[in-house]
Amino acid sequence: MIVQALGVRTVDDLSEFGTDPWWLSLIKAVLIFVFLLLLTLFNIWFERRVVARMQHRAGPNKNGPFGLLQSLADAMKLMLKEDIMVKAADRLLYVLAPVISVIMAFLAFAVIPFGPVVDVPFTDRQTPLQLTDLPVGVLFVIAVASVGIYGIVLGGWASGSTYSLLGGMRSTAQVISYEVAMSLALVAVFLYAGSLSTSEIVNAQQRLWYALILLPSFIIFWVSMVGETNRAPFDMPEAEGELVAGYFTEYSSMKFAMFFLAEYINMVTVSAVATTLFLGGWRAPWPLSLWDGANAGYWPVLWFLAKVMMFMFVFVWLRGTLPRVRYDQFMALGWKVLIPVALLWTVAVATIRAMTLDGGLDRRVLVGGALVAVLLFLLLSIVGERAPKEEPEAEEQPFDPFAGGYPVPPMPGQRLPRPEPAGVVPGGAQPDQEDDTARRSATEEGD
């Protein structure tokens, strides 16, 4: 090892990438899987406990210490369940969908840095705590996430069920909308770091976390990562009250467990990406960073994990606090707020950066540019107010409860006929029903 020969070993020296022997890569890959599987088991327990605490309940506390083994027991139970494949399913794609979901969820972790260069125990080797460092790391993460959409589309489509299809469609539209906002929010980070490589972005945050100087980007990213993972309050794809369970309605046993696993790993993945890009990755937070040893050895893994768990806690907190938003509100937030703001913010950051880099620009030009930006923003907001046209009130139409041969709910403008209570003669004089009819006529007048 050259680095050792020179006797130089800085915490930031990542020049050892690509020199790992194959067995070390394999060990790291297996370790990532073990780490993610254990973290998933922990996170499910964590979520249930925290939500329970927020609702003044105890949560799972029977299996193992503090109920920690509860998720393991659940996973084993799912393993023992009968695997039902519905007859209407497209068999190959039905099996393929959860597999795509789960492998793509793992894949993004290949480029996440867990820590600096460390000594490998029992050998004289050194290796960075990152599986691989691609110069296009963040693009890789986004591309992998976009392939992960196929798990949802195919799962929804291949089940041959209306609920699954609707859930899958909703989920896909949601994920692709928020992926745009997410990618646009990242541009500002690349502007400052000058690279798409995750390790270089972490190194560029030695002095200042990007969450502080690029706060709008961070907020946009945070909101869109909740949307991207289909979590509450943006969990319309699996809205129990409307769609049973969304795209995995027809899944059972291990295949269901895989979708479940993929959802939790995706939460960890986006949290890890947010940590890496905005919170300085594995670098120790401020008071700790005064200690020299904080950014060396295996300690950074702890800081990294703490930051990821912070995001996980907020995921759970949101779920425990906020009601589900309506789908149109959600899409409006994505396309009318997050994306325009991300675009404007990108231009603004580029201007500010060019100013600090190049210096000497006439102040009048800047003021002019700012004015144009403000005007553009005003234009956008005015446009937004005009656009939503009130839907004309539908005319009253007769309601056919069996239109097309199937039982259907009333359309807008149709009214559900009030069933007459069985066994009651209209105007009959049963004393205990009198109240009821009186109340009903009162509400009808109220309408």
Residues 272-301 close enough to bind other proteins by CB under 8 A? none
> Does residue 1 touch other proteins according to CB under 8 A?
no
Distance CA 114, CA 405 (A): 59
Q: Where are the beta strands (DSSP E) in 101-178?
A: 115-119, 126-129
> Does residue 73 touch other proteins according to CB under 8 A?
no
Which of 64, 68, 376, 410 forms a contact with other proteins (CB under 8 A)? Answer: 376
Report the nearest approach of other proteins to the CB of residue 241 (Å): 12
Distance CA 200, CA 202 (A): 5
Q: What is the 3-state secondary structure (H, E, C) of 197-215?
A: CHHHHHHHCCCCCHHHHCH
Nearest CA among 425, 424, 397, 433 for reference residue 441? 433
Question: Would you give the binding string for other proteins spanning residues 249-268, x where CB under 8 A is met?
Answer: xx--xx--xx----------
> Does residue 380 touch other proteins according to CB under 8 A?
yes
Report the nearest approach of other proteins to the CB of residue 49 (Å): 26
Which of 58, 306, 379, 394 forms a contact with other proteins (CB under 8 A)? Answer: 379
Report the nearest approach of other proteins to the CB of residue 124 (Å): 20
> Does residue 362 touch other proteins according to CB under 8 A?
no
> Does residue 129 touch other proteins according to CB under 8 A?
no
Residues 28 to 67 in contact with other proteins, rule: CB under 8 A: 28-30, 32-33
Closer residue to other proteins, CB minimum distance, 318 or 336: 336
Nearest CA among 272, 9, 31 for reference residue 119? 9
Residues 396 to 415 in contact with other proteins, rule: CB under 8 A: 405-407
Which of 42, 313, 327, 399 forms a contact with other proteins (CB under 8 A)? Answer: 327
Choose the stretch contacting other proteins; rule: CB under 8 A; options: 53-61, 267-275, 335-343, 436-444.
335-343
Nearest CA among 211, 221, 147 for reference residue 184? 221
What residues form DSSP beta bridges with 115? Answer: 129
Please check whether residue 209 is in contact with residue 278, taking contact to mean a CB–CB distance below 8 angstroms: yes
Structure tokens belonging to residue 442: 């009162």
- Amino acid present at 161: S
Residues 2 to 31 in contact with other proteins, rule: CB under 8 A: 12, 14-15, 17-20, 22, 25-26, 28-30
Q: H or E stretch including 167? A: helix 162-193
Distance CA 128, CA 117 (A): 4
Distance CA 257, CA 234 (A): 21
Residues 77 to 116 in contact with other proteins, rule: CB under 8 A: 79-88, 90, 93, 99, 102-103, 106-107, 109-110
Nearest CA among 137, 278, 268 for reference residue 218? 278
Report the nearest approach of other proteins to the CB of residue 211 (Å): 15
Choose the stretch contacting other proteins; rule: CB under 8 A; options: 277-285, 307-315, 317-325, 357-365.
357-365
What residues form DSSP beta bridges with 127? Answer: 118
Which of 2, 5, 8, 387 forms a contact with other proteins (CB under 8 A)? Answer: 387
Which of 347, 399, 410, 437 forms a contact with other proteins (CB under 8 A)? Answer: 347
Side-chain-facing half-sphere of 369: CA atoms under 13 Å: 14
